[in-house]
Each structure stands twice: as structure tokens, then as C-alpha cells.
Structure 1
Amino acid sequence: MRPLLIVNPQSSGGKTGKIFDGMLAPIRRILGEVDVARTERARHAVDLAREAALDGRETVVAVGGDGSINEVVNGLMQARDRGAAGTRLGIIGAGTGGDLCRTLKLNRRLDRYCTAIASGSARPMDVGRFSYETHGGERAEAFFVNVLSAGMGGLVDQIVSQTSRALGNTLAYTMASLRGLARSRVGRVRCVAALRGETRELELATRNVAICNGRFFGSGMQVAPMARADDGVFDVIDLGDAPPLRFAAVSTGMYTGSHIRHPDVRHFQCDRIELTLLNRDVEPVFLLDVDGEPLGRLPITVTLEPKAIQVLAPAD
């Protein structure tokens, strides 16, 4: 079967939809003939990827940003739960953040994305399965492949989705982060974490806690420089409850990874974790950031699915 390209025309503030037709010729020069499906609504890529995998498609390519990749992974994982585990994930990054591409060392050029896909060289990647509360108060289940955070991150995602990208993606995230910090609140979070069957419980006072399979979020912030996407563990980064100015200074260190050494920051590993917000009054601004998308809120239960997806990317 031909590779299926699932294109999100709305990614990168709608830029992908405007330029994709011009991308097709160079894509076909490297990949040969491909099939194309454009998403028409939120979460549509989940359905498209699931059905493609159930139909036996060997390769499904996400064309878009981190949110688009997340939707395709969700579809592939739903198909995997139904016995269709053979579909490989390809990526053509065309979004705002590009954070999973950084973790996977995919060079952010169209020809390099296509060459990685055409090589057929796949590497395994862990996936997080989680249950959460939707904004409507219902329980739901989904998957993430890069970073799931709770707190200020979801608030920033919400602001980014309403921000112009005219001055560039990084500046859009920077401005949204400043606005998000001003509105953020400290959450008291009950945390139950397990690693290889050993469980511990602790209470976090934090503006943001990140459960990391990948290394980057927020358009290049190296939140978990030690993380590997195939090592069978999550790296949890608690950014602490510092006042806004000190929190901003600590957060700036994420561009180099130096924040890990700051006394406000806590790091531990797990393969299963439960987070429950104890001070529910901060709930409106203590939101989930799931691979760059504001999906819902606490409580969440997260488990790691080791080496669940094969991704067409260079070996780490």
C-alpha cells in the first residue's frame, strides 16, 4: 500500500493548508506515490489513522505539528488495542512547536523528513496511556507520545491557540508563557508514582508538573534533558511553587536544561503515576497540556506502554 499522509490544514495557524499543495511534488520525488487525507475537524486524524491501520496500511505520516502527531498516534494506538500493531508512524513536521521532532532528532526540513520515511529505518517509541477529566467533567482515555503536563502548561496552550503566529512560533510561545505565568496559580497535587512495582506517595506544591516521554515542550524548552522516548520510564519534572519572578527565571533555564539543577525543581522517574488536584479552586487555570494541546484537567492516571509504536526516525 502507498503511505497515507494525514494533513492538518489548520496546523501552524493555518499555514500548512496554504502551502501543502506546493509540498506534494518534492514529497513524491522522494516517497513516490502517496495517498492524502486532509482533516476536517478536531480529532479527525484519530479516526483516519485508526482506520488506515485497521485496513493494513504499512505507513501513516502525520503532516502537522505536535498536536497532529498526537492525534495520529492516538489512532494507531486504538488500532493496536484491536490487534493491528504493524503500522509505522512517519512525520513531516509542519506545526508551531516541533518538539517531538527535536527529541527524535528529525531535521526540520521537508527533504530530511521524507528521507527518514523513505529509508524504512524505524525505531521503537514508548507511549503514555492516560485517563483524565474533560472540560465538560466527563472521564475519558487517550494517549500521548511526547509530554503531558498539568498546571500552567495547559493554560499556555490555551493562550497560544488564540495568538497570532505572524512574528514566529517561538515568540508566540514566549508571549503566551508570560501571560500564562501572570494568570497561573499554585496547585497542591497528590501524587502516587510507581516504578517497576515499587510505589510512593507525595504531595507537590507546583505551578507545573510534566510527565515526560520526550525531552522538549513549549517550542524548544528542554524540560527533561535526560528523557529518552524508548527507555521504558517517564521522567517527571516538578517545576515547583516559586513566586512568579523566580519561577520565570527558573523556566528560562529550560532552553538549556540548566533548570534541572535549581533547588526549586524536582525530578523522579516512574512507569505509572496518578495526579489529583487537592485545591480545586485553582482548577480553571490548572489545565492539562497534552503534546501541546489543552485537553482537560486532573485527576489523571497515566501508564507507560513500552515500545508501542514504530517511528521512522534516526536511531537515538
Structure 2
Amino acid sequence: MADDIPYVIINPNSNGGKTGKELDYILSTCKRVFGDFNFKVTRKLGDGVFLAKEAKEAGFKTIVAIGGDGTLNEVSNVVANTDIKVGLVARGGSCDAHQTHGIPRKLEDALEIVAGGYNERFPLGLARGDTDRYFIDMTDAAFTGAAADADATFGWEWLPADFRYGLIAMKIALFNFRPVPSKIVVDDQIREVDVSAFAVGLSDVLAGFQILPGNHPRRNEFGVLIAKDLKGLRLIYNMLRALKGKHLKNKKHIEVLWGRNVVIESEKPMTWEAEGEIYSRKSTRVEIEYLPNAINLIIPEGWQYDTIIEEKPKLVSRIKARIN
């Protein structure tokens, strides 16, 4: 029976707690779309891992993550390198991975895509720092890692997630952050720089910022962003330019490399995060490996990964029209 119905994991704390307030609506919509289904609700950070393991051990073949990027990340860390299908339903703030894979924000439309069951295999990244962590979208450190760490305890959850993150990031840039001397190796490319921001991605967007414009999961390699020698107001200025991907024009301080194996050795530990989950604070050496075909995602059939970001809403609209 388990392999015939979806196992739904719901994070009620996502989107500033709005998901919890919509729980009855979410469950009734799941019932209308899926018919039979099992569900569990997370209570705290990390519960998504525990519940996904429970579903895996019970023999469920489809796990649906209803929440933000963090909920999806927790599920991904359990189902990596299996045949379990993962459904994506956006109920978080940024939901970067959901945008990458063309998932509509409307609950019923996203659930209909899951019910349709069309799936493809995609790469994952595997980062090794204090702990090992798979990521489906992007991992980052230095300035952005510090901002993500502060975001977890900042409060003000009533603010839109991307706006709140922006406020925190500006505070970190102005008062707390200094570039970190580091040696970076991307395949056979070596850079020794003072790192201001560092990101390794399978897609283009981080917390609403176009960090790696044009990057997507079908490139068959990581995009690696290196920002160097930036602090204070200059760092904030380039961060704001990243909202539209214009930071890459600053070739003196920002570079993008491409590759499958990344190693960074830093003079002091940096905070590392993946999809909002902190996995390393103490390590001075972090290794990141590209893993092809490592996860099975349910996506809209016909989604075009090389679509430029400005055209993605039109493509999502066409997919929604086909669903309805």
C-alpha cells in the first residue's frame, strides 16, 4: 500500500508560520488531488530528516515536501541516490529550488504536478565540512553564510523572507564581516584570495538574488561564485546589484568558475549553509563534490531549464494553463 500513495511532510513554521495556519486547507487540497495519502507535520528543525527516513523505511515511493528550501533540503538528504520520487510544493519564503524547477506557487497547481508523477533525475552537490550535507540548489559561505546564520535567530518572521534576509545581510556587511584569506581549487583552477562571498550552485538564485545568472541543473557542472576584497558599503552595493545579476560586471572583485570538484581552505572557519540549513561552522577545509543523477524530482513536463529568469513566469503560466 505504501508504494501507491504519497507521504506528505508539512513544515507548519515555513513562510513565517503561515503554513501552519493553512494546515486544514492544505490537507483538504491534498485529499482532493491525491485521494489517499499519509502525512506528518514537522515540529522543529531537522524533523524533515527524521520523517523522510520514516517514509523511506516504510516503503513509500513518493515523498512530498511542503515548505521552503530547508524542508526540501532535509528530504533530499534522506532520498539521495535512491529511486524515491520527491514532490516539491512551495510554502516558504524564497523557495529558490521551486523556482529553479518551475513549480507554481499555487498549492493546487503544485499538487497536480506531483499527482501527474512526471519525474527526471537531477544532480546533487555533496559538501563535507563539520558534517556531510547534500544540497539540491546552492551552498554558500563567508558573508552570505554569516547572514544565513544570523537569519535563523533574528526574529521579525512577519517580514517577507527575502526582505528580512536583505536587512540582516546589510547589517552583517556593515558591522561584522571581514574577508577571509582562502585557497580555492575548482577542478584544476586555483585562486588564492580574501573571500567576501563564496557560492557553489546548481542553479542561479539564492534568497531571491541572481547569484549565478544563467546557471541551471542541466549544465552538468557547478557554477562557483568568488567575491573577493569586498566589505562594508562596497559589499552592500554589490549585493544589491546581485538582485538583477549585475554584480558580475565587477570583474575586479567577482569571478565565476565552472567545475565538478571544489575545495576551499580558509585561514579561519567560515559558516556554511545549504538551503537555509547550517552544516559547518568549525572547519577550515570544505570539499564539495558534484553528483550526477543523484535525486529523482517530480517536475512539470516540458520545463525548460535554460529559460532566462525574466521569461520563467511566462513558462510557468503556460504550464499552469495546461494543468487546468
**Counterparts of 1:157 and 1:163, CA distance in 2:** 13
Residue 180 of structure 1 is matched in structure 2 by 172
Residue 145 of structure 1 is matched in structure 2 by 136
Deviation at 1:31, TM superposition (A): 2.2
Matched letter for residue 128 of structure 1: G
Matched letter for residue 177 of structure 1: A
Residue 157 of structure 1 is matched in structure 2 by 148
1:208 aligns with 2:197: yes
Residue 64 of structure 2 is matched in structure 1 by 61
Over aligned residues, Cα RMSD in angstroms?
A: 1.6
CA contact (8 A) 2:61 2:85 kept: yes
Deviations 1:238-265 (A, max 9, x none): 1222232122121112221122222221
> Is the partner of 1:239 in helix, strand or coil?
strand
1:267 aligns with 2:239: no
Residue 136 of structure 1 is matched in structure 2 by none
Matched letter for residue 39 of structure 2: V
Matched letter for residue 213 of structure 1: L
> Is the partner of 1:207 in helix, strand or coil?
strand
Deviations 1:37-56 (A, max 9, x none): 11233322113223423433
Matching residue within 162, 168, 171 for 2:160: 168
Residue 319 of structure 2 is matched in structure 1 by none
Residue 137 of structure 1 is matched in structure 2 by none
Matching residue within 234, 237, 240 for 2:222: 234
Runs of 4+ aligned residues of structure 1 deviating over 6 Å after TM superposition are none
> Is the partner of 2:218 in helix, strand or coil?
coil
Deviates more, 1:150-159 or 1:47-56: 47-56
* Identity in percent: 23
1:29 aligns with 2:35: no
**Counterparts of 1:41 and 1:164, CA distance in 2:** 18
Residue 186 of structure 2 is matched in structure 1 by 193
TM-score, structure 2 as length reference: 0.86
Matched letter for residue 103 of structure 2: L
Matching residue within 278, 286, 290 for 2:274: 290
**Counterparts of 2:219 and 2:162, CA distance in 1:** 29
**Counterparts of 1:230 and 1:104, CA distance in 2:** 11
Deviation at 1:211, TM superposition (A): 0.3
CA contact (8 A) 2:186 2:257 kept: no
CA contact (8 A) 2:89 2:103 kept: no
**Counterparts of 2:182 and 2:109, CA distance in 1:** 42
**Counterparts of 2:181 and 2:157, CA distance in 1:** 33
**Counterparts of 2:52 and 2:146, CA distance in 1:** 28
Deviates more, 1:1-10 or 1:165-174: 165-174
1:256 aligns with 2:244: yes
**Counterparts of 1:31 and 1:214, CA distance in 2:** 30
Deviation at 1:10, TM superposition (A): 2.2
Deviations 1:266-303 (A, max 9, x none): 0011111111112x2xx4xx311211223223421111
Matched letter for residue 75 of structure 1: V
> Is the partner of 1:96 in helix, strand or coil?
coil
**Counterparts of 2:68 and 2:172, CA distance in 1:** 21
**Counterparts of 1:51 and 1:200, CA distance in 2:** 42
CA contact (8 A) 2:7 2:37 kept: yes
Residue 313 of structure 1 is matched in structure 2 by 299
Deviation at 1:23, TM superposition (A): 1.4
> Is the partner of 2:194 in helix, strand or coil?
strand
Deviation at 1:125, TM superposition (A): 1.6
Matching residue within 115, 118, 123 for 1:118: 115
**Counterparts of 1:253 and 1:186, CA distance in 2:** 19
Matching residue within 93, 116, 138 for 1:96: 93
> Is the partner of 2:163 in helix, strand or coil?
helix
Matching residue within 266, 272, 282 for 1:277: 266
**Counterparts of 1:63 and 1:204, CA distance in 2:** 39
> Is the partner of 2:21 in helix, strand or coil?
helix
CA contact (8 A) 1:124 1:230 kept: no
Residue 6 of structure 2 is matched in structure 1 by 3
Matched letter for residue 244 of structure 1: G
**Counterparts of 1:184 and 1:51, CA distance in 2:** 40
